[in-house]
Structure 1
Amino acid sequence: SVTYRTEWPCNSGVWFRYQTPDKAYQADILEYKNPEAYSGTLYCPGKLFLAINKDKTLVNRDGWNTIKIRAQGDHLQIWLNDRQVADVHDATTDSGRIGFQVHPGAEFGPMKIVVREVLLKRL
């Protein structure tokens, strides 16, 4: 899990099972317009969104948020502030690195993400 806060607009996320730019998953931290998607959306390069969080009320825009990611085998789950927003099966990659993404571009700047806590647990 990752506890964070951000200044908006924002397009960031938590990469997991990252092997290459086209072989990875990301739990998004964003507010996307087309299609409508909010933090907790599950992104996979080449496939775009595997699961979309359409409930913007789950995002605490002025404070701390927690994204919890569970990846076990091909089963991928994401929770945002204790509400499940993604539950899918996908076999794009079964291992890789964990990292943070801050998307480049003037439309998101100046972007700021503050991470308060990162918890990792081997399953």
Structure 2
Amino acid sequence: LVGEKSSWEADGKGPVTEQLITQEEFQQLFKLDDWNDVVIIAKGNHIQHYMNGRLVLDFTDAVPEQALLNGKLALQLHAGKPMWVEFKDIRLKELK
């Protein structure tokens, strides 16, 4: 999903409607050995993910009745090889 503007349809991930950033641009934007500034805006069924000031993901759940609108917030949750992640200065703001 990184670099894509897309949606999630009832039968699975929908088409990518726009390429927001290339893999090469993302690798240049991402600070491997430094802090990255990440802003995630979630309004209903629409999620936008900004990294270091640049929109890197724009996602809409096209099946709002199945969207998860409350529950736990996971900062990192996936399978794969072991990795090291640190977080700092986390702020949550309720959007009205």
TM-score range, shorter chain: 0.5 to 0.7
Is residue 115 of structure 1 aligned with residue 90 of structure 2?
no
Letter in 2 for 1:80: M
Letter in 1 for 2:57: A
Is residue 96 of structure 1 aligned with residue 94 of structure 2?
no
Letter in 2 for 1:120: L
How many residues get paired?
Answer: 81
Structure ranking higher in strand proportion: 1
TM-score w.r.t. structure 1 length?
0.50
Distance in 2 (alpha carbons) for counterparts of 1:118 and 1:87: 21
Unaligned runs of 5+ in 2: none
TM-score w.r.t. structure 2 length?
0.61
Return the index of the structure with the highest Cα Rg.
2
Structure ranking higher in helix proportion: 2
Give me the identity figure in percent: 28
